[in-house]
Amino acid sequence: MLRLALKMLFGDRAKYAMLVCGLSFCALLMSQQTSVFCGLLLWTTATVRNIRVPIWVADSKVEQVNEVVPMREVEVQRVRSVVGVEWAVPLFWNILQARLPDGTFQGVQLTGLDSASLVGRPAKMREGRIEDLRLPNAVIVDQVALEKFRKRGISLKVGAVFEINDKEARVVGICETERSFLGQPYVFTTYSRALEYAPLQRKLLSFILVQPKAGVPVPELLRRISALSGLRAFSSDQVAWDTLVWYVRNTGIPISFGTVVLLGIVVGIAIAGQTFYLFVHENMRYLAALKAMGASFGVLAQMVVLQAFTVGFIGYGLGVGLAALFGNAVLQKGQPPFYMPWQILAFTGVVIVFICLLSALVGLIKIARTEAAMVFK
């Protein structure tokens, strides 16, 4: 009977297509939008992954990695004095305006690394050597800078020159970084030179990057640093997580994406539920005939549930597949952001199962309420 139930479903091509389209659209909207949302959130923590150190120390008011409350440089020494710290180095990070050769301006994320150790250096160099950062006025730019400059007709190569705060910045290398939420390119230089580029302020230290001694537990060291310096110490995971939470709580991004996802679910329920109801309604005479011929409610329920889940399975596959194709295309371009972990697939699957159950339930209620005798009317 189950084979025949599927034949019944596939035979009604118009409703079958409508059901699959509705569920595919719902699955596509949910998985694509949540993937873009996750990708966007992932971008907010790009600096953590680009710098790659186990412990971040910042002013006690700092809540996330894209927020800077400058500290005095003496804080580096205080952190170095904490028992269990292998090393501690300063990091300058801020958004400054770069003046391009054509006179236009471009915001950049200026990242000043400790010149001795170059801790926080980019993971991958496309051109040039990281050590060349120690040369006069040297900066290393990332691939985003190449794109941004190219859009303005400027070909950025090793040896090119632009200005930051009226001071020369000479490109000595090109690196690859993870694109950040803020959208501006990363420009790496040494800490001391970054202070020259930065506008004059009493305090200029953005973060202190710390490596624990071997065998020292990170949570214990975080506690010690906070207690001794009064600063806020994060593990890299914690600062990333706090950043995600901050963006969720303080921006309209979740509401914006959540609304689209909710609309997808509502549209899915409306299309699938209504079409499936119509499908059952139009087949009611035949289902009543089967009931009269001895089909129990259990058999009819199995048939209806199989039909609902078959369109659900196909719709889910198509929707998620299309979202993955979209993701594949945009990941090659670099934007918009896209990150599809298995949890998104599971979430979409659960919602589709819910819609299928709801649709089947609507049909089953109608079947249960129908007397087999209707077949004689």
Q: Which residues bind another protein (CB under 8 A)?
A: 1, 3-4, 7-8, 10-12, 283, 285-286, 289-296, 299, 371-373, 375-377
143 Cβ partners below 8 Å, 6+ apart?
A: 126, 174, 175, 176, 177
CB of 347 to another protein, least distance (A): 34
Report the residue number, 233 or 288, with the smaller CB distance to another protein.
288
Side-chain-facing half-sphere of 43: CA atoms under 13 Å:
21
Task: Supply 329's token pair.
Answer: 């295309």
Report the residue number, 7 or 249, with the smaller CB distance to another protein.
7
Report the residue number, 134 or 285, with the smaller CB distance to another protein.
285
Report the residue number, 248 or 292, with the smaller CB distance to another protein.
292
Alpha-helical regions (H) of the chain: 2-11, 13-44, 46-51, 74-80, 143-151, 191-197, 218-229, 236-250, 253-282, 284-292, 297-333, 342-369
CB of 4 to another protein, least distance (A): 6
Report the residue number, 16 or 247, with the smaller CB distance to another protein.
16
Q: What is the per-residue DSSP string for 288-323?
A: HHHHHTT--HHHHHHHHHHHHHHHHHHHHHHHHHHH
CB of 287 to another protein, least distance (A): 9
CB of 367 to another protein, least distance (A): 13
The H or E element that residue 53 is part of is none
Burial state string for 233-253 with b = 16 or more CB within 10 A and e = fewer than 16: bbbbebbbebbbebbeeeeee
Report the residue number, 239 or 288, with the smaller CB distance to another protein.
288
CB of 295 to another protein, least distance (A): 5
CB of 317 to another protein, least distance (A): 23
